[in-house]
């Protein structure tokens, strides 16, 4: 496999130079910070640059699991999982459903494809503001519907409802990419397979079960994985919709932000070293969950 001697363009320094420029950007601004996060999770580093920094060993991790913090952290952990599982589940099922719908020969399907993908372009701040408006407790459309049912709600201000609403908005805004990936998967299935299945007398359901689903399995894997990793780490939309320290929607990523950069909740220490230790805990969780998911989905794919 060693093909290092196959460089054919003559002088080697040109490739080495361009590669070095590119890779050093990645290393300095991406890889070093990633490794650095491990290192400084053992320090009491603060946001001001010239305060003395000390090695504190496992202190930050001890704090994370201490009786003063554990309730807050477990709560954030629970919220993270609730958010990630619900978003992954609903987003994938609905995206598959919409993709199958938009893959039929219907007038207006191109328009619908464009419309479904639009929130991806608009971005979290715009999407966040649109839904703040719709769930505006003093007279948004949602409040009017609630009122006609004889109820009222503070929506994002309601601790029992906030997480559900955030999940709905996240699915609405993120579903476009999943739909596009499923559409690509659907279009890669050769039409002949359906014709063969029809000749064999397969019903619509059998075609879906025996042809579409197995051949779509790689798209399912990709979508599930992307969605799980993304939603375990996601917090920008929550930040815009409910603020940085709303307990009802506190997730680990937001805890990193509030503990490291202020806006704290739960009476804690807030050194950036402590925030770094939360990053590491989150990183380990993301690794375990994504490897487990990948293994499970791969096994299922080969079983089909």
Partner 1 sequence: MSELQTAVRTTTAPATSQSQSVGAARTSGPAKVVSYILLGVVILIFLFPLAFLVNTALKSNSEFFNNPTGIAKAPLLSNFGKAWHQGNFAAYVLNSVLYTFAAAALGTVMSLMVGFPVARGYLKHTRLWNILFVSMLFLPNTLVTVFQLALRLHLYDTRLGYILIMVSGVGVGPLLISGYLKSVPKELDEAAVLDGVGYLRYLFRFLPPLIQPVLATVFILQAIGVWNDIILATILLPDQAKSPVTLGLFAFKGAYVSQWSLLSAATIIVALPLLVVYVFLQRYLVASVVGGAVKG
**Smaller CB distance to partner 1: residue 82 or 222?**
222
| Residue 108 backbone zone (phi > 0: left; psi -120 to 50: alpha; other: beta) | left
The CB-of-76 to partner 1 minimum distance in angstroms stands at 13
Candidates 181, 227, 228, 251: give the one binding partner 1 (CB under 8 A). Answer: 181
% helix, strand, coil for the chain, step of 5: 75, 0, 25
Q: How far apart (Å, rounded) are the C-alpha atoms in residues 163 and 13?
A: 54
Candidates 51, 93, 196, 287: give the one binding partner 1 (CB under 8 A). Answer: 287
Tokens of 64: 């994370």
Would you give the distance in Å from CA 7 to the centre of its chain?
Answer: 40
| Residue 270 backbone zone (phi > 0: left; psi -120 to 50: alpha; other: beta) | left
What number of other Cβ atoms are within 10 A of residue 291's Cβ? 10
Candidates 177, 227, 228, 251: give the one binding partner 1 (CB under 8 A). Answer: 177
**Smaller CB distance to partner 1: residue 55 or 111?**
111
Candidates 55, 65, 111, 296: give the one binding partner 1 (CB under 8 A). Answer: 111
Residues 6+ apart with CB under 8 A from 210: 197, 202
Candidates 126, 196, 292, 304: give the one binding partner 1 (CB under 8 A). Answer: 126
**Smaller CB distance to partner 1: residue 84 or 275?**
275
Candidates 61, 90, 146, 283: give the one binding partner 1 (CB under 8 A). Answer: 283
Site for partner 1 in 144-173 (CB under 8 A): 144, 172
Site for partner 1 in 204-223 (CB under 8 A): 204, 207, 212, 218-219, 221-222
Site for partner 1 in 46-105 (CB under 8 A): 47, 49, 98, 100-105
Candidates 187, 200, 292, 304: give the one binding partner 1 (CB under 8 A). Answer: 187
Q: Is 101 helix (H, G, I), strand (E, B) or coil?
A: helix
The CB-of-62 to partner 1 minimum distance in angstroms stands at 18
- By the 8 A CB rule, do 42 and 273 touch? yes
The CB-of-159 to partner 1 minimum distance in angstroms stands at 20
The CB-of-40 to partner 1 minimum distance in angstroms stands at 6
Site for partner 1 in 4-33 (CB under 8 A): 4, 6-11, 14-16, 18-19, 21-23, 25-26, 28-33
Candidates 81, 132, 164, 289: give the one binding partner 1 (CB under 8 A). Answer: 132
Q: How far apart (Å, rounded) are the C-alpha atoms in residues 300 and 294?
A: 10
27: which DSSP letter?
A: I
Candidates 42, 45, 156, 163: give the one binding partner 1 (CB under 8 A). Answer: 45
Based on the shown chain and the rule CB under 8 A, indicate whether residue 134 belongs to the binding site for partner 1. Answer: yes
> How far apart, in Å, are the Cα atoms of 69 and each of 76, 81, 138, 278?
11, 18, 36, 12
Q: Which residue has the tokens 């619509």?
A: 204
**Smaller CB distance to partner 1: residue 41 or 67?**
41
**Smaller CB distance to partner 1: residue 82 or 186?**
186
Site for partner 1 in 241-280 (CB under 8 A): 253, 256-257, 260-261, 272, 275-276, 279-280
Q: How far apart (Å, rounded) are the C-alpha atoms in residues 195 and 207?
A: 10
Q: Which of 185, 186, 165 is nearest to 90 (CA)?
A: 165
Q: What is the 3-state secondary structure (H, E, C) of 101-168?
A: HHCCCCCCHHHHHHHHHHHHHHHHHHHHHHHHHHCCCCCCHHHHHHHHCCCCCCHHHCCCCHHHHHHH
């Amino acid at each position: 496999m060693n093909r290092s001697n196959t460089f054919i363009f003559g002088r080697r320094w040109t490739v080495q130079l361009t590669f070095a420029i590119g890779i050093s950007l990645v290393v300095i601004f991406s890889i070093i910070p990633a490794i650095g996060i491990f290192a400084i999770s053992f320090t009491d580093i603060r946001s001001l640059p010239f305060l003395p920094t000390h090695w504190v060993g496992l202190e930050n991790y001890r704090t994370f699991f201490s009786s003063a913090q554990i309730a807050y952290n477990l709560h954030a952990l629970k919220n993270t999982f609730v958010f990630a599982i619900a978003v992954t589940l609903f987003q994938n099922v609905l995206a598959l459903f919409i993709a199958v719908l938009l893959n039929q020969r219907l007038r207006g399907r191109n328009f619908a494809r464009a419309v479904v993908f639009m929130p991806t372009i608009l971005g979290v701040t715009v999407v966040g503001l649109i839904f703040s408006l719709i769930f505006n407790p003093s007279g948004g459309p949602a409040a009017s519907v609630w009122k006609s049912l004889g109820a009222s709600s503070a929506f994002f201000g309601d601790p029992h409802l906030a997480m559900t609403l955030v999940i709905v908005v996240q699915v609405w805004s993120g579903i476009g990419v999943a739909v596009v990936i499923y559409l690509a998967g659907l279009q890669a299935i050769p039409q002949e397979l359906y014709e063969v299945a029809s000749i064999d007398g397969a019903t619509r359901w059998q075609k879906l079960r025996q042809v579409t689903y197995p051949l779509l399995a790689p798209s399912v894997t990709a979508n599930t994985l992307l969605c799980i990793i993304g939603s375990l780490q996601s917090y920008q939309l929550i930040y815009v919709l409910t603020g940085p320290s709303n307990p009802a929607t506190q997730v680990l990523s937001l805890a990193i932000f509030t503990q490291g950069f202020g806006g704290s909740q739960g009476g804690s220490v807030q050194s950036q070293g402590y925030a770094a230790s939360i990053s590491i805990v989150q990183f380990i969780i993301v690794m375990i969950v994504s490897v487990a998911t990948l293994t499970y989905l791969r096994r299922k794919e080969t079983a089909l």
